[in-house]
Structure 1
Amino acid sequence: MNLRQIEFVLAVAEESSFTRAASRCHTVQSALSHQVARLEDELGTPLFERTSRRVRLTLAGEAFVRQAHAALEATRRIPEEVAAAAGQVRGQLAIGTISALGSIDIVALIEQFHARHPQVEIRLTQSGSEELLVRLRQRRLDVALIGLWQGEKIEGMAHLRIAQERLVALLPPEHPLASRRRLTLERLATLPLVDYPQDSSARRQTDKAFAAAGVAHQIHFEVNHLNLIAQFVSRGLAASLVPESVATKLDGVVHVAVQDAPNRVLYVVWPKLASPPASAFVALLREQLDFSNSK
């Protein structure tokens, strides 16, 4: 078994296609297929179920992929750890973040990190909190900025609480309720709503909040980005629930306090055995939080 074979298996698993995996790995399909077959012979079991229409992992393949991510991550970190022992921070830093970060300016944070550690190659991806946690556990991310609801726990990962805030109602300026000082979830539930997809943690917690208030609500529009939520609201098509610090930055909408709205907590999360770039990133974020709290 060699690292190239491991990379090939991961590519096929993530692409669900030998053809796309070969293109991603910059090799011909026959060579990639041959190496995967050799690895399967060595292991004594198939890693993929192959049909004319799809490719998917076997149970053995799923077990292999779980360990393969960790193996590649450990290999990648060898030069980083050696450099760190010599007082240098270099290598790669894969950051994941949700789209609604409130007061955190992720671009400014990355700019400051790059100025401090120019030898680190930085990559950024946006997704939902649950997906980011999955990628962290798979070692596909080094650090993630996520939002959870009060009381939710983060298992098996190191984390730092960044902020906590209530959600507010987002309304078009001309709406009859826009001039109110405060609303209830019961009143908000009578309006058409725009929210994140049903399988997201943000949506589930919104659903739980309405359920706890004992009221049914109607999600007319499911979107995956805050800007789309704001557009639906500003054009009078729906209302929404968003964090207060986010609402204040949106144009063309107004926000109103909701007396029984849930709290959202922002965290930065990273593996307990963090890479040197990840440790440096968390240290920078701690500095910024300490500076903000001292004002």
Structure 2
Amino acid sequence: MDLQQMRYVVALAETRNFTRAAERCSVVQSSLSHRIAGLERELGVRLFARSSRRVELTSAGAAFVAGARECLAAADRAAADAAAATGVVRGRLAVGVIVTAAAVDVPELLQRYRAQHPQVSVALRSGRSDDLVMAIREGDLDIAFLGLPEGEQPSGVESVVLDHDRHVLVVPAGHRLAGAARVTLEEIAGETFVDFAAGTPARAQSDQAFTAAGLVRDVAYEGAVVELMTRLIARGLGIALMPSAYIRPLAADSPELALVPVVDGPRRVEYLAWSRFNPSPATRAMLDVLGVRTPAQHGRPTTG
């Protein structure tokens, strides 16, 4: 058994197709099939159930793939650590980003990172903050940019605060409140709202503010894409509360939208989070680019 055989098995398990698995591994299909069959003979078990149309993992195959992924990750980490010891950072960096990230210009950050560490491949993943934190804990992400309601912190990971922000009211330009100097939650509670999906940290920021004020509102439209949400607002279908640092640049180019400060509105904290367990050289390099200092095993990380 060797690492290449493990890579072939994992590729086939993920693609469920010999042709696509071979393409992913940059080998001819016959070679991949032969190596997997040889591994099955060596192990004395069938890793895959095959038919003319389907390829599926057996129970033994599922158990093998779980261990194979761990072995491959350890091998990749060993190679990255060895390279880092010579001053070269290589490997893979998995980065999670919420859709409303504003504290850091992520494309500009990645440009700087790429210039310093061209041998690192970067995988980007967008999602809700709680899912990104879980992915870090489970080892699927190395680092993530999050947004949480004020008073909440990422759990089970290392983190630093990047910025504090207030929400603003987003209304259509012709709305009765479009020219207001400021509003309160009570003044807007009777409106129809556009917001993020219930149960997400992005939604919780507004829900908690209304609950704290003893108010109930009607969320008629739920979404995950801000561009679509703002189009709904522009059409007069509802209003929304959104982080000011994120929405102000968008609204500046959208004359059909108006922003109004909210006196007692939600507040958000943006965080940078990463694994507590032995960050990879690529992760440590990203922290360096961000100016995050991580004293060895002592105290809380700080931004520099």
- What is the TM-score with the length of structure 1 in the denominator? 0.78
Give the 3 Å change call, closer, same or farther, for CA 79–63 of structure 1 in structure 2.
Answer: closer
Deviation at 1:107, TM superposition (A): 0.6
Aligned to 1:131, the other structure's residue is in SS state helix
Deviation at 1:202, TM superposition (A): 1.1
Unaligned runs of at least 5 residues, structure 2: 50-55, 293-302
Q: How does 1:1-295 map to 2 (within 5 A)?
A: 65=66, 70-251=70-251, 252=254, 253-272=257-276, 273-286=278-291
Equivalent residue for 1:52?
Answer: none
Structure 1 residues without counterparts, runs of 5 or longer: 49-54, 288-292
Structure 1 letter corresponding to 2:212? A
Q: How many residues align?
A: 286
Computing the radius of gyration from Cα coordinates, the structure with the larger value is 2
Q: TM-score, normalised by structure 2?
A: 0.76
- Render the CA deviation track for 1:267-294: whole Å, top value 9, x for unaligned: 111112111111111111127xxxxx99
Shift of 1:239: 0.7
Say whether the 8 Å CA contact 2:133–2:155 is kept in structure 1. Answer: no
Over 3 Å counting, the alpha-carbon distance change for 1:229 and 1:283 in structure 2 is same
Partner of 1:51: none
- Cα shift at 1:154: 2.0
2: CA distance, partners of 1:268 / 1:202: 16
Q: CA deviation at 1:74?
A: 2.3
Give, as a single letter, the amino acid of the residue that structure 2 aligns with 1:180. A
Distance in 1 (alpha carbons) for counterparts of 2:269 and 2:64 = 33
- Displacement of 1:235 after TM fit? 2.4
Change (3 A) 1:6 1:21: farther
RMSD between superposed Cα atoms in Å: 3.9
Q: Which runs of 4+ in 1 moved over 6 A?
A: 8-15, 17-21, 41-44, 55-58, 61-64
- Per-residue CA deviation, residues 70-92 of structure 1 (Å, 9 max, x unaligned), is 54432221111111111111222
Distance 2:48 2:184 in 1: 53
Please tell me whether the aligned partners of residues 8 and 21 of structure 1 are also in contact (alpha carbons under 8 angstroms). no
Q: Distance in 2 between matches of 1:116 and 1:136?
A: 24
Question: Between the two proteins, what is the percent identity of the paired residues?
Answer: 31
How far apart, in 2, do the equivalents of 1:23 and 1:189 lie? 57
